[in-house]
Structure 1
């Protein structure tokens, strides 16, 4: 609601003449609508002026709301209240007319208070988003520095296993860095456009892992915004599954296509990584990558399923997806 009010409020404060002229125009529009509906609203001579008062106070200030109240009260007294064509209000109409003026003044004052509150909330949210973006930028830079240090460390190692372990750590940190790179403000915490994030992530993984092998990585993901923490978990799962596909699906420098998918299915997300390689065994070794995938899925309340296909292997991860977690 505050975002709608903030969108209606003019960015600049207009001059007195323009504010009061615009307020008069709003009241006259309400007056013409009331004239057009004279038979329907005969018993409610001032009903359509209430929105005009609210809009004048919302767009400008309580002064224009007071002005709209007075002008509309005079118009109602002259054109719609007995005796018609005179400002001499009868005793029967004096009490409701006076109440209308008091209510109009009250609406104007409350509307301006609402307006100021909405402006403060909007400004606070904007400031919070700027702080979040700054924090995300610094975090990403720190992570990139860690990656650089680990890469230098890996180059100096001769043991293949130690170097492979550092390379795996580097790719996992890079997954987190990419999420922070695409973080944007919104809600209680930042969100990430998951389709663009996975596209960038898989492009980087393909360039890193394929060497000279003709292996393509394709991504087909729904356009969704997810929380940053969820994006990191999804990215880490994709990282492990795509890395495993490159390692085991195409032996002897074979080639093929690794297909990454993320689709929304009612109240859950279906994340899948599918290859057209040599297939997958029924029994899966409990390596670090496999354990990490199952742990991340479990933390998100999801489950992992592996399916052997006629050609290749498909791993599907089913993750809960709340309605307010996406765009």
Structure 2
């Protein structure tokens, strides 16, 4: 509906534009009418109705009324003013039909404009709600991070991780799109944004995080668990895969075919380092999220390093 409206001339329009284009449309239709009448003698008045409807849809009913008058005058001119009783009734009936088409076309455009305005208003409302929700989550994340500084090292580390998880949830609102009443997230942009943040949070560790991501979309209810899983896996790789400031690289990939496959791999110390990570709260949360997504999580020895694969059904939009 919105695309069709974009094809029509925007309002307001000048009088010259409205009546000039209406006259041009009717002139083209009268040309076809005259050609048919000369070729076969067939008086096809219905050929003129699309021009009347289009004038009303593009501009207003006044333009369509003008096109109707031009149509009647053009028919009389083409037929050399041979107005007989046999033609008078069809022309009168055609005039009434033209007026009805004009009114209907203008009404249709107004309804289209109302629908488009409603859709835009709904999108703006979604954006406003998303913005406020993100700000609230970001504030909560900051409060948790601030609280972590007043506690011991172990409690501080755990609260810092909680703050990161909240921030990951907040960032989804930067990538929300409204499509057919559904909140859709661009996974490529969302995961890429998370990777850049995790790179910044790695501190002085000489660990690079890079991405190879296919274009993919998912409902927000699916995108958030995926993002939290990636956040946990990358955080574990940075912490346990590269001890003693060991340099390295973490690669995040996303591929879609018959299923969605996400991989987080590193070239660190390998499986032994990740065994310790799998005993923590984060790994338990990941297992629950994977179960929620009806997916499967597999740990592989990458030689060197470790690779974690998440396989799940391709999200339906």
Query: TM-score, length-normalised on structure 1?
Result: 0.83
Aligned to 2:174: 181
Aligned to 1:45: 44
User: Aligned-pair distance for 1:322?
Assistant: 4.8
Residue 303 (structure 2) aligned to one of 307, 310, 320: 310
Residue 85 (structure 1) aligned to one of 77, 80, 83: 80
What aligned pairs does 1:190-205 form with structure 2 within 5 A after superposition? 190-205=183-198
What aligned pairs does 1:1-327 form with structure 2 within 5 A after superposition? 2-32=1-31, 43=42, 45-76=44-75, 78-79=77-78, 84-89=79-84, 91=86, 97-158=91-152, 160-209=153-202, 211-266=203-258, 268-280=259-271, 285=278, 287-322=280-315, 325=317
Distance 1:166 1:322, change over 3 A: closer
Distance 1:20 1:275, change over 3 A: same
User: Aligned-pair distance for 1:299?
Assistant: 2.6
User: Aligned-pair distance for 1:170?
Assistant: 0.4
Distance 1:23 1:208, change over 3 A: same
User: Aligned-pair distance for 1:164?
Assistant: 1.9
Once residues 65 and 40 of structure 2 are traced to their aligned partners in structure 1, the CA distance between those partners, rounded to angstroms, is 24
SS in 1 for 2:234: helix
Once residues 41 and 170 of structure 1 are traced to their aligned partners in structure 2, the CA distance between those partners, rounded to angstroms, is 81
Structure 2 unaligned residues grouped into runs of 5+? none
Structure 1 unaligned residues grouped into runs of 5+? none
How far does the alpha carbon of each residue in 1:229-278 deviate from its partner, in whole angstroms, 9 at most, with x for none? 33322211210111122233223332221111122215x42222122223
* Residue range with higher mean Cα deviation, 250-259 or 7-16: 7-16
Query: TM-score, length-normalised on structure 2?
Result: 0.85
SS in 2 for 1:141: helix
Aligned length: 315
Conservation of the 8 A alpha-carbon contact between 2:265 and 2:307:
yes
Distance 1:102 1:306, change over 3 A: farther
CA-based RMSD of the aligned residues comes to: 3.0
SS in 2 for 1:11: coil
